[in-house]
Amino acid sequence: MKKIVIIGGGITGLSAAWKLAENGKEVIIIESSDSVGGLARSVKVDNYYFDIGPHSFFSEDKEVFNAVMNLFKGEEGEIPFSKRSVKMWFRGRYVDYPLSAKSVLLQMGLISPILSSLSFAKSYLSSLFVKPKDKETLTIEEWAIGNFGKYLFLNFFKPYTEQFWKIPTSELSHRVIPSSKKMDFAKTLKHLLISKYLEISKREPGKLSLVQRESLPSYYPKKGFGEIAKRISKIVTNKGGKILLNETVEEIKINNDKKFEIKTNKGFINCECVVSTIPINKLVPKILPKPSIEILDQSSKLQYLSLILVYLITKRKNVLNCQYCYYINKPYNRISEMNSFSNNTSPEDKNILSVEISCLPNSDLLSMKDSDLYDMCMASIEKDNIIGKEEIIDYKVLKVSNVYPIYRKDYEKSLNETNKFFSGISNFFSIGRQGQFYYGDIDQMIRIGFDKAKKINSDN
């Protein structure tokens, strides 16, 4: 029986292992941390469950949706419906997010809608006389001005995007905004005023537009989003699969017989197939025989944003009046209120605010003391009257690397060259958010895992 090693116990790796183990394959997951789930895990500290950023489960993919909901079969109360509510703090006002014609015209006061509309009209009229640029090569600056006009670009897209990615918008591909967040201002305006069907960019896999996808019911496990990954891992082990925690892959040797020898910090594992879900720039240097200098160079250019999470513990039960809110010109990008997802993520009389700070992998923020990060966030939070220090009874800090693939405007060349190299290795696959350099949602990562398992099962 073919032995398959999956490197990384995140949601994509777990999903692939799930379907492979169900098919009778010998599966071994190698996970470097002490728990499964990756970015979809929950970290339990005392009686608190800390998510790596806010998540909720929703999907138009019936197979994926049913598979996840069936993890809680007979105890549906453990993954109740969770109504999504997202805002953005824009010049002292809360506006709906993702940005739409409704939020621009009805929630931004008097001046911003007028200037936004005039700016958009100018951009739209200009586009009628200029040959459109290839959409695949658009920077975020070109995309935003073309779809929303210069006013919203300068006052919304540019400050938030550069705050989040730490890179000028002229250097970033438009793909840094997931397609579910994209919308054409003209079409949203038409939808708002004429009530016609709105067709917005679609996400793959899946066939629904943003409006349809955003209206899907969402669910959140009572004890943190990581409960989904924990339940998948139990199925894998019950089906005979193995999950090795606190074990790091150091080398992936391709033998002459095209089988693999995996060296970890704890020993060696031989296998016939490898599925990797770890970051591409960390994966390629582990492969032996050593890849060419060109491939090593191209893969090293595929970088990922890191994330610092400052969790504020308070007795105040309703702080944001929404699940999470985005902020512009602040040291943090987003604040989530975990009680809005589940009251069970903290003791009955407590609440958690999750404050997110993105940074490049070489940022000095990653070496800052926890207390300094806390003070930096609280200075801005108090200034905006979100919550006072006197209401914070404790805080925790978590630093996570390799969270968001950075889509620089020329990233596709590096990705294509690296994928070409991978395709030359038999029975070797790099998949998932980090492994495919793909900024997608949880259900899409599960679908990728399912599809890769199906291919491996059908080939063998």
Q: What is the pLDDT of residue 110?
A: 62
460 residues of the chain, pLDDT tens digit each: 589 999 999 999 999 999 999 999 999 999 999 999 999 999 999 899 999 988 999 999 999 999 999 999 988 789 998 888 888 887 777 777 765 655 555 666 666 666 666 776 776 666 656 665 666 678 888 888 877 788 778 887 888 889 999 999 999 988 877 554 444 444 444 433 333 223 333 334 455 555 455 667 889 999 999 999 999 999 999 999 999 999 999 999 999 888 999 999 999 999 999 999 999 999 999 999 999 999 999 999 999 999 999 999 999 999 998 999 999 899 999 999 999 999 999 999 999 999 999 999 999 999 999 999 999 999 999 999 999 999 999 999 999 999 999 999 899 999 999 999 999 999 999 999 999 999 888 999 999 999 999 999 988 6
Please give the pLDDT value at position 190: 40
Q: What is the largest CA-CA distance in the chain?
A: 70
Q: How far from 7 is each of 46, 56, 239, CA to CA, in Å?
A: 29, 25, 18
Query: Residue 34 burial by CB count (10 A; 0-12/13-18/19+): exposed, middle or buried?
Result: exposed
Predicted local distance difference test score (pLDDT) of residue 189: 43
Hey, what's the torsion of the CAs at 388, 398, 405, 298, to 10 degrees?
A: 140
Give the chain's domains with CATH numbers.
Answer: 3-35+60-75+221-302+408-459 (3.50.50.60), 96-214 (no CATH), 304-405 (3.90.660.20)
pTM: 0.88
State which amino acid sits at residue 328: I
